[in-house]
Structure 1
Amino acid sequence: MSLAILQSPSSAKAEEEPILSLSSDSAFHFEVLVSLGEALYGGSDLAPVLGAAKNITAGDFDSFSQAFQKLAYKTKDQALDEEANYDPINVRDTWFSAATYFRRADFYLHSNWTNPLINTLWDEQTQAFDKGLASLPIPGQRLQIPADNFTVEAIWYEPISRQHKNGSSKRPTLILGNGYDGAQEDLYHTVVVPALARGWNCLTYEGPGHPTVRRKQDLGFIPDWERVVSPLVDYLLEKRSDVVDKYKLVLFGFSFGGYLAARATAFEPRISAVVLDGGVWDCYEAFSPNLSPELKELFDAGNKEAFDEAGRQILDNPLVPSQARWGLAQGMWAFNTLSPYDFLQATKKYAVKDFISQIKVPVFVVDAESEGFFSGQPQKVKDALGDIATLHTFTGAEGYHCQAGAFSSLNRVMFGWLNKVLPK
C-alpha cells in the first residue's frame, strides 16, 4: 500500500513544468527553486545552488542534504574569511547565504527524530543568520515573547529611515509567520527585505510546530493560533509604540500559515488587515484525498495500529514519491507525534469554516495555478469572506506554491493591495 499525504507542489512531468526543470524529482525541483528564489533578497546565490542541485540524486534525501551541507560549510568558510577583512555587506550576504544552505540541508531529515543533524544543522543556520542580522544597517533583534505556557521566538526589523513619509515616526508593521515547514529566517528573504525598502517595520515569528520552537520547547502545532499572535500584538503596542502605527498592523501567513493567520485574525481584533498566502480552507480536506483507498478505509475504520504500520513503512521506501514521504515525516515531526494516524486526525482541527465569519478586516487571499498543496481552497476562503476579501491568482512561471522563485511579483501585488486598503 502507498500513502501520499501531500500532493507535489507541481504534479507536472519535467517537460510540462512552467519553467526549466531543476530535477526529475518534482519535489526536489520545487525545493531547489525555493533556494534560488531567496537569491533576489540576499539569501543565496544562483550558480552555487545550481551546482549543488547537479549533485543531487532524484528521490535520495541523504543526497539532497549532503549537497547542501557541502555548500553550507563552504560558504561558512567564505564568511569567516570575509570577517577578517570586515565589509558589512560582504559579511551579511555571505552569512545569510550560509544560513539558507544549512536550512536546505535540514529539510528532508525529519523522518528520523534521533538524527543529530536535525539540531546540529539548525544550530549552524541560527548562528550564521545571527551574524547576518548583526551586519544589517539597523541590526535585527531576536526576541523571546512570553505566551500561554510557551515562548514565541521572534525577530524585530526596522527600516533605515525611521520617519514615515507623512512625517510621523510611526510606521505600518508586518507580523509574518511561516507554515508547515518554513522558518522565520526564510521570511527575511521573502517579504522582509522588500517591506523594509518600503518603510515598513517587520516582526517575524515562530510558534509551536515551527522549526525553532519545535526544537527548543518540544511543542507541535496548536489550532488556536491567537495564543501565538496576540502576545505579538501586545509586544508591538506596548514595547514599540513609538514606531508602530496601531491602525496599520498587518498579519501575513505563508503556506499552512494561511490557516494560522486566518485563525488569529478571527480572534485578535487589533489586526488591521491580513494576507493569506495561500488561502487554507481545511487541512484534512486537502490531505485525505491523497490516501490510497486501502489506507482511507483503515483510517475511517479507526484502525490506528494498521494505519500506523503502513504509514511508517512509507517513510524509508524510496519507491514512494519524495513529496509523500516528506509530507508524512514533516507532519509527524511538526505536529509532534510518532503516529501517522494521530497526525492525520490532528489535521481535522485546522479548518476555518467554524470561525471565518468572525474575520472583519480586509483579507488578501493568494492562489497559485500550480498550487498543489491546497488546490481549490483559496477560492473557498474568498467565497466565505465575501466582499472583504480580494483573491489574486498567480499563473504560469509565477504560479508555484507561495510564488517560489517569483517573490518580487508577490511583493509588488501584495503591497499594491495594502496601499489601497490601509488608512492613509
Structure 2
Amino acid sequence: MTEIFKKHWSEYKYSKNMLQDALIKHVMDLMPYRMSDEGEVLEIIMNIKESDEQSWINAWSNMAANLQNRAHKFEKAGKLISAGSSYLRASTYWRVSLMYFGDWQDPRMQEFSQRSKDCYDRALELNGYPGEAIRIPYENTYLPGHFYRSPYAKNKKTPLLIVIPGRDTWADDTIWVTDAAIKRGIHALTFDGPGQGMALRLQDLKFRPDFENVLGPVIDFAQKQEEVDSKQIGAMGMSFGGFLVARGAAFDDRLKFIISDPGNMNWGGMIAGRLEKALKMPAMIRPNMIDFVLKDYEWKHGATDKTIINELQKFDNTKIVPNIKTKTLVLDGSAEVTYGAAKKFYDALTCPKDYLLFDENSTAQQHTQMGGYATGTEYIMNWIEDNF
C-alpha cells in the first residue's frame, strides 16, 4: 500500500513511561463513547509526574471525584441525562487511577474499584444503555461482568460476542468492541477474569494458566441466556486476553470463532525473559517503571521475586496450538510492542484462519488498535459479520 504520510502518530508520546503513555492513549480514544473528555484528560496529564504512582492515582481520582459529585447534584436536580454522562466519565477515571498503582493493600484499591462499578452501572441505567451487570458462576465465587442486549437484534435467538480484556485494562474498557457489536445486531458479554479488573481488586482472584477453566463457565453462562443462539457464540481476547482466548479454545470447541488481538504463542516466555533482566538489577537502582512492572506482575500472578519467572513460563501455548480447531482471526499491528509474535502464532495454527495486519496507513497500528478504535472496529466487525 502506498504510504500516505511520512510521519506517524504512533511515534508521539504523552509520557516516556511506556505504560502510562499507552493508558493515556487508550483513555483519549474512549471519547467517541462518551467515557472521557479531552479537556479533562489533558488537565489530568498536566498533573502527573512520570512514573510516579501517587501522582497518577491522585490526578485521575481527583477528576473522578469531581465528576461523581457533579453527577450526584445533577441527579438530585432531576437532570438525569447530564447525571448519567458525568457518572460514565467518573467511572472511567476511577478505573484508570488504579491502572498504574500497585499498592494492593492501600484501601483506595477497593474503594475506587467499587466507585467505578457503581458509577458505571448508574450511568447505564440513567442513559438507557442496553447493558446490565452480571455475575457469572465460577468455582466457589463469581466473575463480574456485563451483558449487552442488542436493540437491533432481528431474531429471538441472536449471536453473541464474548470479549476478554487484557492484563491492564478492565472489562468496562472494551466498550469500543461491545458497542460496535450491538449496533450490528449482535449481543455482547464482557467480564473480568482472575487477575483482571474487579475480580482482582475486589475478590483477590489471580491469573491462572489453565484459562479453559475460566472461559468454560463463561460459555456455560452465555448459552443459558434465552436471547442467545448457543451455536453462534464467538470470543475476542484483547492484549493478554488474546493469548488466553487461544488457550481456552484449545480445550473447548463450543465457540464459532475466536479473535486473538494480537496473537501470541508464548506470552509467558516473552515476558519472563524481560523480567529476568529486571531481577538482575539491584532494587535500589532499578528504574521506577521497571520496578512497577515487576511488582505488578507478581501481584497479579500471586508470585514473588523467586517464583515469578517460573509462574510466567506456565503461560505457553506452543504445545497446544495444534489442538485449536475453532476458526481464528489473528490481529497484528506494525507498531505492536510484540511485533512478529502474531504472525508466528498464525503460522502455527492448523485450524481455519485469517490474519489481519493494521499498518501505519490505517492509524490503528498500535497495540490492540489503541488510538485507532474506530478503524479497528470497522475491520473487525466486518469479519465478525461474515463469520456468524
- TM-score > 0.5, shorter chain as reference: yes
User: When the two structures are superposed, what TM-score results if normalisation uses the length of structure 1?
Assistant: 0.83
Partner in structure 2 of residue 377 of structure 1: 341
Partner SS state of residue 135, structure 1: helix
Give the CA deviation at 1:24.
4.0
2:68 to 56, 59, 76: 76
Q: Which letter does structure 2 place at the counterpart of 1:172?
A: P
1:272 to 256, 274, 281: 256
> Deviations along 1:49-78, whole A, 9 cap, x unmatched?
012112222222222221111211111122
Structure 1's 128 and 138: CA in aligned 2 closer, same or farther, altered over 3 A? Answer: closer
Structure 1's 340 and 159: CA in aligned 2 closer, same or farther, altered over 3 A? Answer: same
> Does 1:191 find its partner at 2:177?
yes
Give the CA deviation at 1:244.
1.0
Give the CA deviation at 1:105.
1.0
Cα pair 1:362 1:421 within 8 Å, conserved: no
RMSD: 2.2
Partner in structure 1 of residue 3 of structure 2: none
Measure the CA separation in 2 of the matches of 1:194 and 1:418. 11
Partner SS state of residue 399, structure 1: coil
Q: Which letter does structure 1 place at the counterpart of 2:148?
A: Y
Q: Which letter does structure 1 place at the counterpart of 2:387?
A: V
User: When the two structures are superposed, what TM-score results if normalisation uses the length of structure 2?
Assistant: 0.91
Partner in structure 1 of residue 105 of structure 2: 114
Measure the CA separation in 2 of the matches of 1:26 and 1:113. 21
Structure 1's 154 and 251: CA in aligned 2 closer, same or farther, altered over 3 A? Answer: same
Partner in structure 1 of residue 358 of structure 2: 394
> Does 1:22 find its partner at 2:14?
yes
Measure the CA separation in 2 of the matches of 1:237 and 1:175. 11
Give the CA deviation at 1:29.
2.1
Number of equivalences: 380
Partner in structure 1 of residue 377 of structure 2: 411
Partner SS state of residue 92, structure 2: helix
Cα pair 1:38 1:44 within 8 Å, conserved: yes
Partner in structure 1 of residue 4 of structure 2: none
Partner in structure 2 of residue 356 of structure 1: 321
Within 5 Å, which residues of 2 pair with 1:44-193? 44-110=36-102, 112-137=103-128, 139-161=130-152, 163-164=153-154, 168-188=155-175, 190-193=176-179
Give the CA deviation at 1:378.
0.6
Partner SS state of residue 176, structure 1: strand
1:256 to 240, 254, 267: 240
> Does 1:213 find its partner at 2:193?
no
> Deviations along 1:171-213, whole A, 9 cap, x unmatched?
111111112122111112x211121111111111122111222
Q: Which letter does structure 1 place at the counterpart of 2:218?
A: L
> Deviations along 1:227-248, whole A, 9 cap, x unmatched?
112222222222x13x212232
Partner SS state of residue 146, structure 2: strand
Question: Larger relative contact order (C-alpha < 8 A, sep ≥ 6)?
Answer: 1
5+ residue gaps, structure 1 = 1-14, 297-306
Using the aligned pairs only, state the percent identity.
24
Structure 1's 223 and 250: CA in aligned 2 closer, same or farther, altered over 3 A? Answer: same
Measure the CA separation in 2 of the matches of 1:27 and 1:147. 31
> Deviations along 1:300-320, whole A, 9 cap, x unmatched?
xxxxxxx9xx4xx26xx6x61
Measure the CA separation in 1 of the matches of 2:148 and 2:185. 11
Partner SS state of residue 354, structure 1: coil
1:288 to 272, 275, 282: 272
Q: Which letter does structure 1 place at the counterpart of 2:33?
A: Y
Cα pair 2:322 2:350 within 8 Å, conserved: no
Measure the CA separation in 1 of the matches of 2:277 and 2:221. 48
Q: Which letter does structure 2 place at the counterpart of 1:169?
A: K
Cα pair 2:279 2:305 within 8 Å, conserved: no
Q: Which letter does structure 2 place at the counterpart of 1:388?
A: P
Partner SS state of residue 349, structure 1: coil
Measure the CA separation in 1 of the matches of 2:51 and 2:45. 12
Give the CA deviation at 1:387.
6.1
> Deviations along 1:74-95, whole A, 9 cap, x unmatched?
1112212221344554333221
Measure the CA separation in 1 of the matches of 2:126 and 2:148. 12
Structure 1's 335 and 170: CA in aligned 2 closer, same or farther, altered over 3 A? Answer: same
Cα pair 1:138 1:159 within 8 Å, conserved: no
